[in-house]
Structure 1
Amino acid sequence: MLNSIVDRLDVSQVLASYKGGGNSCFHPRMMLKVLLYAYLNNIYSSRKIERQLQEHIHYMWLSGGARPDFRTINYFRGKRLKDSFDAIFTRVVELLHSEGFVSLEVQYIDGTKIESVANKYTFVWRGSIETYDTRLREKTRRILSEAEEVLEMESHETRPDEELSVEEFQARTSRIKEKMNSTDVPKKIKKAVEKTAKEYIPKMLEYERALDIMGKRNSYSKTDEDATFMRMKEDAMKNGQLKPGYNIQIATENQFITNYAVYHRPTDTLTLIPFLESFEKRYGRQSRVVVADSGYGSEQNYEYLFGPNLIPYVKYNMFHQEQKRKYKKNAFLVQNLFYNPKGNYYVCPMGQYLFFIREEKRKSDAGYISQVSIYRAAKCLGCPVRGLCNKAMGNRQIEVNHTLNRYKEKIRYMLNSEEGIFHRKKRPVEPEAVFADIKEAGKFRRFRLRGINGVGIEFGLKAIAHNIKKIAACRGKYGFGWDNLQKVISNYAKNPFLKHEGSLRVA
């Protein structure tokens, strides 16, 4: 089955990367078959794949007797597939769609963290870099100012708190050294200036480069600069160690992977919008239904989801708590206070009014600005139930995001609808079951390639292998050939809320 699927793929983009001439090379279609079969059998090391080509009859048949060594296998996986693998994965999903395995009308989205090949003790932290850089700049400033004072030179700082660039520190140090060559200065000052030029300035450049590599992240690894330190669930020490890794996002349908992406951010919230955009870019269309857990529920995401023609079933973090009796019976919670929209005030259980005070703007880590309304009670002193309502010293003050509350009201209604309950029940057995198959059954818990491109290729190979295994499992269960298999496992029969809209046409 794997052989017939790969034969149907377009590998012209991979072939175009070969310039021709020189020694003979192995055909990329054969190399792709060998790699996919290895990932299908949970073999990820290029040396082990080389050994299988020498010992295992199935690998020999797929390779036609060819025996590429581990360097060739690794080079093909990491370099040759770099610019073309995304199109190969897309073509596989298109085949699934054409055969009726997936409709591409629904995405069940979830994420997981997978460890990088980098050493876990090669961390670089933003907080430490910024602290050391600030101290070093202050020390350098004092040394140069003292030297300029001794040499009776004019300082090039316009004000004491001016932030100088590394280039300005370098130029300033060079001017001082030139002046010192023609003037007698104390040995202590001369030694300090020379140390600044040889040690402090290069260290500043090193800190500057580290911050450039880090970008908006809080950490990175020295041996895999694209990896970010995250807390992994698969921690052998059971103490929540931070390890270099990547956040892998996938979309599934009928437990087939229809889209995947690799992100630096350890949290899922800010990955949803770029992930949905990657799905649209991949297939030239967007799915009708998006289903995700509470890790994706935010005002920014809801604003995007309710914009285009999408039907979102994306929970927010308090959705399940709101269904409990304890939550509903707590009259002091902000969500349970009576609100008068006309007068724009809240009323506490004791009849105290919380009047509108002001509006504030809050900026998220992604730069999204939300509007928060502040309300404050007039007199809480002497209230007999104050301990249950408010533990602050003064009058009770609450913050309300009315826009987010309106989105939550819409989502709550949709999630409790018949279709919403259907998708909520199906979501845990979609992406989570796929991750279990990949990480637990497939023993795929750590990448072998470095960099976000290499990681994307490696997970993509595992994703295609997973999809092929699902096809084979269905074929073995029902005993049908490829051409008739879709009649049995058609997602339209499994999902009563999706409607057939014809075949996919990729833009």
Structure 2
Amino acid sequence: MAKPKFKSYNQGQVSLFPPSLDEKVPKNSPARIINQIVYSLDLSKVFDTYKGGGTTAYNPRMMLKVVLYSYLNNIYSSRKIEQALTDRVSFMWLSGNQTPDHNTINRFRSSHLKDSIHEVFTQVVVMLVEMGCLTLEVAYIDGTKIESRANRYTFVWRKSIEKHKERLEEKIHKILGMIEEGIAQDNNPEDDPPTPFNSEEIRKRVAQINRENRSKEGQKAIKTLENKLLPKLEEYERHLDTLANRNSYSKTDSDATFMRMKEDHMLNGQLKPAYNVQISTENQFISHYDFYPNPTDTLTLIPFLNGFENRYNILPGKVVADSGYGSEENYEFMQGNDIEPFVKFNYFHKEQKRAFKKNGFLSQNLYYNADEDYYVCPMGQHMNKAGKKKSKTASGYTSATTIYEAKNCNGCPLKCLCSNARGNRRVEVNHNLNRHKQKVRELLTSEEGIYHRSQRPVEPESVFGQTKSNKHYNRFRHFDKDKVMMDFAIFAIAFNLGKLHLKGLDNKGIWAILGKYDQKGGDILFLVKIGVNFKNFSSVNNYNQKTAA
């Protein structure tokens, strides 16, 4: 029986010619794609954040490569990035064997990328458009809630603040009435509630009080007002200013709002401080993102599309979203901007069922005479217009609803099936919303609409699934909205570049596209094709000079 043979093994073997790190990095490694993409980006705004003097700084281009490659490999901690720079070949190759510490990495993210990373994301998306990976013509929009780093149990609730502030104002009124009758508004009836006031007004009134010849009780009341009640009133006012239009916020991250999340580790529906992250995707590439304090998605669509337009100077021609975005206000906005709304509305799927279509008692199934403006009830009785009412949304949009009422429902044998009201049956109809629903219904049931409906779960929902499950990006690591958005922008760039690597576009193809860029970090010539806002790029003047010549 032959003896086994082993390859020679000597950890201390010295090579005459040390191997190059480039030889150790595979040709199809995503590190090479990141290296090529970042090399072609215009990072002038990042460079402008550095000040002269002191020791030499690490090259921002190298730092950006390292940070993007770290996020691509699910490494988000600055300490873990520091460790990877010393024991992983691909990181050594990207950094050129330089080893910035965790403080330098964290400072680069928080200070140097906070204001410029969003422009870098725009440049990357524009490159992807030129590569044919996406067109910006279709936007698959969806949102998810990602938990903040804030403490889950340090919360401020609007109702609680308003209740305690009202009680405090009553105390202040009583003390002022006891101290100075002329200032206490004693002419008002005692039963009238005290009028609200702010802390500045109270300070002025306290300054007018004559402190001389006051009793001990009066002096004590003045000190209580100045040292205890007035600071508390100022605290409540600060809370209300921070809340703005929200119902809650976290004390450790004032930009985070308490929301009910699907990731409920205690299984009790606990509210957690979080951000409502909205993204648009195409071919599973993230094309736009934004953050909102709204727990629901309805009021986020219009500002999201406005942000999309500010980023690229164009609006998507088609918007695909679920029923959480289906509202009259959103449909009006999309119609006014020539956007095809493949956006579901409530009861869209229920309307397709046989039981819904055959239920003649539903207001949606009642016959409507548009010429004479009346509905016909199941018994054939006309339901004429009885009035109108207007309602206003949280964003200020006014919606008009028409009320129709039957003439006489007494003795109707179908009343128990038709209506539970004591009087005649009334229906409230929003004709403008029904008109939008009919248009959307035709789009969604068309061949193109069926395709977009089948693609929507594949697009943003799969991106969120990869983000939270595969990438383990399910909780932010920074405080404040600006830093949280900066961190997500880095993640979105890394996600897109990782998707580019998985799409299989070889390095030669990428270099063919990047060859259209000035290697010195200059002009992005193809921006004209899609109308990108040149105000976001520092190469505008050079471009205008060349085209003028």
Paired position in structure 1 for 2:225? 196
**What amino acid is the match of 2:294?**
R
Note the 1:227-246 alignment, pairs <5 A: 227-246=256-275
Q: Say yes or no: does 1:286 pair with 2:286.
A: no
Q: Deviations over 1:245-273 (max 9, x none)?
A: 11111111111111111112121111111
Note the 1:66-81 alignment, pairs <5 A: 66-81=98-113
Give the deviation of 1:405 after TM superposition.
0.8
Q: Deviations over 1:180-225 (max 9, x none)?
A: x323x3x445433321221111111111111111111111111111
Structure label with greater radius of gyration: 2
Paired position in structure 1 for 2:530? 504
Q: Secondary structure at the match of 1:313?
A: strand
Equivalent pair of 1:248/1:261 in contact (CA under 8 Å): yes
The aligned length equals: 484
Paired position in structure 2 for 1:114? 146
Q: Secondary structure at the match of 2:336?
A: coil
Paired position in structure 1 for 2:360? 331
Paired position in structure 1 for 2:170? 138
Give the deviation of 1:158 after TM superposition.
7.7
Q: Say yes or no: does 1:169 pair with 2:169.
A: no
Give the deviation of 1:363 after TM superposition.
0.7
Q: Secondary structure at the match of 1:54?
A: helix
| Distance across 1 between alignment mates of 2:345 and 2:125 | 30
Q: Secondary structure at the match of 1:482?
A: helix
| Distance across 1 between alignment mates of 2:95 and 2:166 | 58
Note the 1:283-362 alignment, pairs <5 A: 283-362=312-391
Give the deviation of 1:73 after TM superposition.
1.1
Paired position in structure 1 for 2:120? 88
Equivalent pair of 2:173/2:184 in contact (CA under 8 Å): no
Paired position in structure 2 for 1:492? none
Paired position in structure 2 for 1:27? 59
Query: Of the candidates 247, 250, 268, which is equivalent to residue 221 of structure 1?
Result: 250
| Distance across 2 between alignment mates of 1:157 and 1:90 | 63
Equivalent pair of 1:339/1:345 in contact (CA under 8 Å): yes
Paired position in structure 1 for 2:38? 6
| Distance across 1 between alignment mates of 2:531 and 2:337 | 20
Q: Say yes or no: does 1:100 pair with 2:126.
A: no
Alignment gaps of 5+ in structure 1? 487-500
Give the deviation of 1:355 after TM superposition.
2.1
Query: Of the candidates 491, 495, 509, which is equivalent to residue 482 of structure 1?
Result: 509
| Distance across 2 between alignment mates of 1:45 and 1:479 | 30
Paired position in structure 1 for 2:436? 407
Paired position in structure 2 for 1:36? 68
Give the deviation of 1:484 after TM superposition.
9.3
| Distance across 1 between alignment mates of 2:99 and 2:406 | 78
**What amino acid is the match of 1:259?**
H
Equivalent pair of 2:145/2:277 in contact (CA under 8 Å): yes
**What amino acid is the match of 1:289?**
K
Paired position in structure 1 for 2:398? 369
**What amino acid is the match of 2:509?**
W
Paired position in structure 1 for 2:537? none
Give the deviation of 1:483 after TM superposition.
4.2
Q: Secondary structure at the match of 1:306?
A: helix
Q: Deviations over 1:282-314 (max 9, x none)?
A: 112122111111111101100000112221211
Equivalent pair of 1:438/1:462 in contact (CA under 8 Å): no
| Distance across 1 between alignment mates of 2:224 and 2:382 | 66
| Distance across 2 between alignment mates of 1:376 and 1:255 | 49
Q: 1:377/1:117 Cα in 2 relative to 1: closer, same or farther (>3 Å)?
A: same
Paired position in structure 2 for 1:148? 180
Paired position in structure 1 for 2:213? 182
Equivalent pair of 1:98/1:503 in contact (CA under 8 Å): no
Give the deviation of 1:385 after TM superposition.
2.4
Paired position in structure 2 for 1:394? 423
Paired position in structure 1 for 2:7? none
**What amino acid is the match of 2:257?**
T
**What amino acid is the match of 1:333?**
L
Aligned-CA RMSD value: 2.0
Give the deviation of 1:356 after TM superposition.
1.3
**What amino acid is the match of 2:199?**
V
**What amino acid is the match of 1:123?**
F
Equivalent pair of 1:257/1:467 in contact (CA under 8 Å): yes
Equivalent pair of 1:78/1:449 in contact (CA under 8 Å): no
Q: 1:485/1:345 Cα in 2 relative to 1: closer, same or farther (>3 Å)?
A: farther
Paired position in structure 1 for 2:516? none
Give the deviation of 1:55 after TM superposition.
2.0
| Distance across 1 between alignment mates of 2:356 and 2:400 | 26
Query: Of the candidates 441, 462, 487, which is equivalent to residue 470 of structure 2?
Result: 441
| Distance across 1 between alignment mates of 2:107 and 2:507 | 38
| Distance across 2 between alignment mates of 1:483 and 1:62 | 18
Give the deviation of 1:453 after TM superposition.
1.0
Query: Identity percentage over the alignment?
Result: 52
**What amino acid is the match of 2:122?**
T
| Distance across 2 between alignment mates of 1:202 and 1:158 | 28
| Distance across 1 between alignment mates of 2:380 and 2:159 | 47
Q: 1:235/1:408 Cα in 2 relative to 1: closer, same or farther (>3 Å)?
A: same
| Distance across 2 between alignment mates of 1:68 and 1:437 | 30
Q: 1:485/1:336 Cα in 2 relative to 1: closer, same or farther (>3 Å)?
A: farther
Q: Secondary structure at the match of 2:342?
A: strand
